[in-house]
Structures are given as C-alpha cells and as structure tokens.
Structure 1
Amino acid sequence: MTIPLRLSAIGLPAFLLSSLVHASFIEEMSSSLEFKNYYIHRDYPQSSGQTERAEWAQGFLLRLDSGFTEGPIGFGVDTLGMYGLKLDSSPSRSNTGLLPREDEAAPGAPNYARRAEDDYAKFGISAKMRVAESELRYGDLEPALPTLRPNTSRLFPQTFRGFQITSNDIDDLELTAGLLSRTRQRDATHYEDLSINRKGGAYTAADSQRFRFVGGNYRVTNRTRLGYQFAQLEDIYQQHYLGVSHSLDLGEGRLGMDLRYFSSDEAGAASAGEVDNRAASSRLRYRLNGHTWSGGYQEQFGSTPFAYVNGTTVYLFSQMQFSNFTETGQRVWHARYDYDFTDIGVPGLTFTARYATGDNATVAGFDGEGREWERDLDVEYILQSGPLKGMSLRWRNAVRRANFSSDIDENRLMVGYVLPL
C-alpha cells in the first residue's frame, strides 16, 4: 500500500494544478469565424495602360485566442487562420489587392495582365505571457501603433512577425515597446523584409529586418490624452510621434480637438537616402445627436515626403481610401461628416462622407506643383435582429483627381459576418 499512497499524494496536487491551469486556459478562450465577401471595381479613365481593375473574392478568418494559465505568470497562445477564394477575376483586371497574382504575365501580354490565384491560405500563431498588468506577445502580430498601422482594407489584415510588450501596471499610463522583423502583406502568403514606402521614387529601395518602437499613452483626465512614440527602421529612418487629444461639452454636443505631429530623419547607414520630414496634422470635431462634423489642416515640412513602412497606412487625418496626401511640402485641408441613423429610429445604418484637397506638393518624377483631391462616401448597415443578426452590408465609393497621376474612380461592395464560436 505504501507505493500507491505515495503516488496518490504526488498525483493529486499535480492533477489539481493541471485542472486549474486547463480550466483558466479554456474558460477565457474566445473564438470566431469571420466571413467576408468583397467586390472591388476601379477605373483609370485617363490611363494608357491598365484602365480597369475588378475582382470578387470570398474570405474566411478563423480566430482562436486562449486564456492564460493560472499563477503569477500566465501563458497562452493566439492563432489566426485565413483562406481566400477567387470568385471573379481576369489577368487584364487583376491587382485589386484582394488576391495574390502570378509572378509573370502570359507571353505577349502586358506586364500588368497577370493571372490571380484561384485561392490562397495563410496561418499565424503568437505566444503570449502575462505578469500582473503587463503582457508579452511573440510571433504573428497585428500591432496598432501611431508609427506603424497595418493595412486592413482588403480581405485579410497585413501582419508582422516579432514581439511586443504592453504594460498597464501604472494607473492611466499604457507603455508599449517591441521589435518587428518581417511583414506579410494583405494579399500575400509569404513574409518579406520591411522597407520604406518609396513615394514614387523619392526614396531609394532598401530593406530592413529591424523595426523598433517604444512609447506610451497617458490619460491626463477622462477627456485629455497625451501620446508619444519613438520608432526606428534600422539603417533607413527614425521617427518621433507626439499626439494630443481633448474634448469638452459645448452646447448640447461635444467638441473634440486632436493634434498629431511626426518628425522623421535618416538612421544608421541611411540606405534609402536622406529622410527629412516633419508632419503636423490637426482635426476639430463636433458631435450632436447622430451628427458628427470634423475637419482640419495638415502640412508636410522638410525636403522629403512622410516616411512610413511599405504596405501600411499612416496615422494622419489625411488618410483616405486612395491617397494619404503625404508628398513633400504638401498642404491639405480635410473635412468629414458622419451620421448615425439610430437618431431617427434606424439603428445599424451609418453614413460617412469625406473630402480632402492638397496643393504645394513636390512629387518625384513630376515637374511643377502637385495638386490632388479625393472624395469618399461610405454607407453601412448592420442587421439588428433575425438569424443573421450582426451581418454587415457596406458600399464604399471614391473619386480621386490629381495632376501628377491617373484619375481613379472606385466602388467597393462588402458583406461581412462574424460567427462567435
């Protein structure tokens, strides 16, 4: 009886510990399957090459996020599986960003006329560790940083490989730091080195495997926030970001004010050439019932365009559906109107109109003052009841005109549904 009793004495605590670890790991798990049906039709009325891009695709995104194991140090794992299916495309209409394409065009066909793949799949996994109110993640990441904004405007998000630490141990202060080494573009299945967006040739092509960042956000009051971040794409550029936001009650509505400032210079070996840019972007917004009006001014200073990682979007108020208005010396006025139809008894229906116009731009390869404008419309309805509650129907329309590039007209139709598992 001695041996079984000893085994029992050892095994019972181990069993209880395993059960606690397993219970927390599973009970805090969240999972979902997202369906995204996406159609894009884009016209280039004045282009002498490809005059149209049009594709239709179906995407499936499966997210499985575990909880953390019990104890002072908790461990977990998050996974993301993605599968895209071509519904309609042709070589002459490809390259919408929905589907990956073959490397070369068919013999005798123009280079842009490349066939889109019938389907594609990709998988991402990240390990995570939690200590008190701090969390470390390592693996495939979707960071949302002022100095690096993944592109999420197609079937699948742009992802990055590396690690990120986020700490909320200090009241009202969130600290973030990390290092990213590779990126996987929204319509790609492979990872590639990081690079600077060349802005039409203003910067020399250069790659890096080190994007470092550190910074924080501080809540001064419930209505005032300060943010700072430093980032460096090794041997290419370094960037400082400073942001301020504040809101106050005004009449029956609320007035908000935002300012974002970036300062960028070359770093290390300066592989992409000189980087000399400061960008100031401002916005005033006023919300009253279902209405929100906003607008502001933005300007680029220095001898080069705004610096950012290729494939990403920018954390400026000028980021539109096509253009981000970040050429050298460019001045921009932007305006936006949002309306939530819940205010008149139609919950789930929203409308957005945006407009931006820029001038005084120095554009690589263009002789003269660069000028452009863009107008975007967005209508979305989310079903509020029934068996398909939560399904979203969305239409986006954009028109862009510029004297240094082709005119663009585009429509996007999206149907989305997230099924919690």
Structure 2
Amino acid sequence: MLKTPIARGVALATLGATLAIPTMAQAAFIEDTKASLELRNFYFNRDYREDPGQSKQEEWAQGFLLRVESGFTEGPVGFGVDALGLLGVKLDSGGGRYGDGSQLLPGDGDTAADDFSELGLTAKVKVSKSVLKVGSLQPKNMAIAASDSRLLPAVMRGAQLVSNEVDDLTLDLGYLDELNNRASSDYEDLTINNSASARKGITGATEADSFLFLGGQYKLTKDLTTSYYYSNLEDNYKQHALNLVHVLPISKGQSLKTDLRYQRSTDDGNTNVDNKAFGAMVTYSLSGHSFGLGYQKMSGDTGFAYVGGNIDPFLVNFIQINDFANADEKSWQARYDFNFASIGVPGLTFMTRYISGDNFDRADGSEGKEWERNTDIAYTFQEGALKNLNVKWRNATSRNNYSRGTNIDENRLIVSYTIPLM
C-alpha cells in the first residue's frame, strides 16, 4: 500500500469511522468494504500550431488514486463511509511548456507545482433501496458529470440521494455547492461555463451558492429507457433535459441503438441564457464493429449552458477538445469503433470519429466553422505479470476559423493499473 500522507490520512479516517460504529453492527460494514489503489501515469502534449504566444504545452505526471467504499452497518438503517485519497506528482514540465489548458497539474501560470493532493470523505446512509451520500461526490448524470479525463478526477461537495424503491425506476436528486477541479487541491464556488463566451453569447454569469438537480431514469421495456432531469445553477440558469435510448436487437451480434437528447435552458436572474439543444446518435453494431452517425443542433439566443470548470456536458458532440455548443451551431459526427476480441485479440480496442460544426457567428459577424478528429487505441493486458495493466493513446486534431490559439494537435498517453487492496 502507498505510504504517503494522503494514503495514511484516508486509512486513518476510514478506521476512525469504523471504530465509531457499535461492534455488533460492524460485520456487514467490514465484509462489504472495497478498497483499491489506481496508479495512473499521464503524458500530455498539446501543439497550438499558429498561436503567436505559447506554441505548445507538454507535461508528464504520476497519479495515485486511493478509493475506499465501506459496506453498511446492519439494521433497517445502515451507515457507512467512503474515502478518496488523491495525489499527483510532477515528472516533467517547465521551460515554457506549462499551461492551464492541459489541466494536468496546478501552477502559478508559468510553472507547474511539484505535487498536489486531496482527501475526500463521504458519509452515507441506506434505508431499504435508497442511499443518501453527504460530503465529497463525483456525480455522473444528465444534469452534471464530474470529469475524470486527466491525471486526477474533479470532485464536488454536497449531498445526493439515489433511490431504487420501484422496479425499473431510479430517482436521483442532489445539492452541490463547491467544485474541486482536476488540477487543484482547493474547492471553489460554482459558475457557468463561459469558455468562448463571444461565440456562446452568454453574459451576466456570476458565482453561484448552489446547484440543484432532480431527475431519474425509467426502463419502459427491456430495450427502451427514458430519462428526465431538472437542474438549476442559482442566479445563472435553469434546465430541463430529456433522453430516450432504444436498442433494437436485429440478430445475434447485431443491433441498432438510437440515443435522442433534448435540453431546454433559460436564465435564472442574472444571465441571458436561452438555448435549445437537440442531439441524436444512431449506432449500428455488427460483431466487433460499430458505426455511428450523430447530429447536434443549438438554437435560441445563446449557446448551451452548463456548470463551469471540469464538468462534462450531456451532449452528443462533446468530445476530447470541443463541445460544438455555440449559439445556433449545427454539427455532424461520424464514428467507428472496433473491438479486437471479435477476431481473437481480447483487450484491444480502437475508436475514431470526425465532427464538423458550422452556422455560428464569428466576432466580425461572418460564419464560424470548426472540426475535430479523435482517435483512441487502448489495450488491457489479459495475463502474465502485466495482467490488467491498461495502456491508452488518445490523439486529437482541432481546427476552426475563429481563433488561431485554438487550432490544436494533441496527444495523450495514459498507463493505468489498479491494485485491489481489500
């Protein structure tokens, strides 16, 4: 087990919570506890092409992610505690290569920090099939999703209740008030995502004291699932989100999946948010092959609104670099995936996609255009001394006609290995 202050802190906190529970109720609490340590090595290289300022960002770092999830005490009301210990260590950065755009390591604008860490604790209570969690959270739903696409994940602070009392129905509600970004050890107030504000057209954004969400998912049939969420970033926006997913089995190893998404966002006092976002993705799967076509359309006075910082919006065309969510933007996606297990090479996967967007305004009033191409290749070792070691290469190319500083070539190399501790 990793002998670092952050690891020891998580272990002591979890032990303290265990000792605080009456002995007679500890059996399930301990027996159902799960703990793991993920070692994540991350190399990030971003070439800004024609940017007259910083030409590239290049960083290499090692991450340690210790996760502890306890069971629940016995009885009609069960209590438990989860813990998350995060440590990031710089391996290489500097010489003009550091920049906030990589979001791999924190820094002072010119130099990356040597290391950074965080300890998150979550108390939880279970009654029947409902679980309430309070403390450090990593929500993943249509309203808000904390990102985990860099060295360390983003973490939020608040409370979340998930209930499965009714068969095929999941209810989900929560309150969040702080966000700790991926390359940070500090919690910050929430605000609206205002990147590229000149194109999104959102004005009046302010820091918010709270983010509320309420929604759920219902499985209408074994092949058809529908979801709805309402969310509110205080003083910034209100949003209704609908999702319909249908999987049509055609024959053995062959299916057609349809994913439809619609979100309506309006202002909540201080901003001018007014957006309708429609997205559709149709994927045909045959043996190890998957062929997908996607379409996304923005309408209204502004672009799509979502929580700022390291939050992933629920959009069909939100991908490695861009979200294609500018005011009035229309975008298409073509995607291909292949799982090499279908030809006898388990653990090896491949993905490539191309997205093209247009119909939004540039600063001078002319039409804006952008495109992005992504390629992912990943392999998980299946046996031997390296079993379960995962290696992933992610490549992206992004071009547009609105800003020289956002024409990007990017490569990420991620090596990860998870060690079960209990």
Q: After the TM superposition, which residues 14-413 of structure 1 pair with which residues of structure 2 at under 5 Å, given as runs?
A: 18-90=22-94, 92-95=96-99, 96-102=102-108, 114-201=110-197, 202-203=201-202, 204-252=204-252, 253-267=254-268, 269-270=269-270, 273-311=271-309, 312-363=311-362, 365=363, 367-406=365-404, 407-413=407-413
**1:250 CA drift (Å):** 2.3
Pairwise CA distance, 1:239: 0.2
Question: Amino acid of the residue matched to residue 292 of structure 2?
Answer: S
- Deviation (angstroms), 1:405: 2.1
Distance 1:298 1:392 in 2: 32
TM-score (norm 2): 0.91
CA distance, structure 2, for counterparts of residue 215 and residue 32 of structure 1: 31
* Partners of 1:199 and 1:305 within 8 A in 2: no
**Displacement, 1:18?**
4.0
Partner deviation per Cα, 1:91-110 (whole Å, 9 max, x = no partner): 511121110002x5xxxxxx
The superposition leaves residues 247-277 of structure 1 with CA deviations (integer Å, 9 ceiling, x where unpaired) of 112255101111010000001x32xx20100
Query: Where does the alignment leave 5 or more consecutive residues of structure 1 unmatched?
Result: 1-16, 105-113
After TM superposition, the structure 1 stretch with the greater mean CA deviation from structure 2, 197-206 or 324-333, is 197-206
Residue 418 of structure 2 is matched in structure 1 by: 418
Aligned-pair CA distance for 1:387: 2.2
- Displacement of 1:323 after TM fit? 0.3
- Please state whether the residue corresponding to 2:184 is helix, strand or coil: coil
Q: 1:219 to 1:366 in 2, by over 3 A?
A: farther
- The amino acid of 1:121's aligned partner reads S
Moved more, 87-96 or 223-232: 87-96
Runs of 4+ in 1 over 6 A off after TM superposition: none
**What is the Cα deviation at residue 366 of structure 1?**
5.0
Matches of 1:85 and 1:343, distance apart in 2: 38
2:196 aligns to what SS in structure 1? helix
State which drifts further: 241-250 or 80-89: 241-250
Structure 2 counterpart of 1:123, one-letter code? L
Q: Secondary structure at the match of 1:342?
A: helix
Q: Give distance in 2, aligned partners of 1:301 and 1:361.
A: 10
* Whole-Å separation in 2 of the counterparts to 1:319 and 1:251: 31
Residue correspondences, number = 391
Are residues 366 and 183 of structure 1, via their aligned partners in 2, closer, same or farther at CA, if it must alter by over 3 Å?
farther
> Which of the pair has more CA radius of gyration?
1
Does the C-alpha gap of structure 1 residues 63 and 366 become closer, same or farther in structure 2, counting only changes over 3 Å?
A: farther
For 1:194, the aligned partner's letter is L
Q: Is the 8 A contact 2:257 2:284 kept in 1?
A: yes
Distance 1:205 1:133 in 2: 38
* Conserved? CA contact 1:91–1:116, under 8 Å: no
Describe the SS at the equivalent of 1:321.
coil
What secondary structure does 1:120 align onto?
Answer: strand
CA contact (8 A) 1:329 1:361 kept: yes
- Cα drift, residue 23 of structure 1: 1.2
Normalised TM-score (structure 1)? 0.91
8 A Cα contact 2:376 2:393, kept in partner: yes
Q: Is the 8 A contact 1:199 1:327 kept in 2?
A: no
C-alpha separation in 2, matches of 1:194 and 1:81: 22
CA distance in 2, matches of 1:397, 1:20: 53
Give the unaligned 5+ runs of structure 2: 1-20
- Say which SS state the counterpart of residue 29 (structure 2) adopts: helix
Distance 1:362 1:58 in 2: 41
Distance of 2:263 and 2:205 partners within structure 1: 22
CA 1:215 to 1:308, structure 2 compared with 1: closer, same or farther past 3 Å?
same
CA distance in 2, matches of 1:145, 1:207: 22
Specify whether residues 76 and 334 from structure 1 end up closer, same or farther in structure 2 by C-alpha distance, changes over 3 A only. Answer: same
Q: Aligned partners of 1:249, 1:134: CA distance in 2, in Å?
A: 32
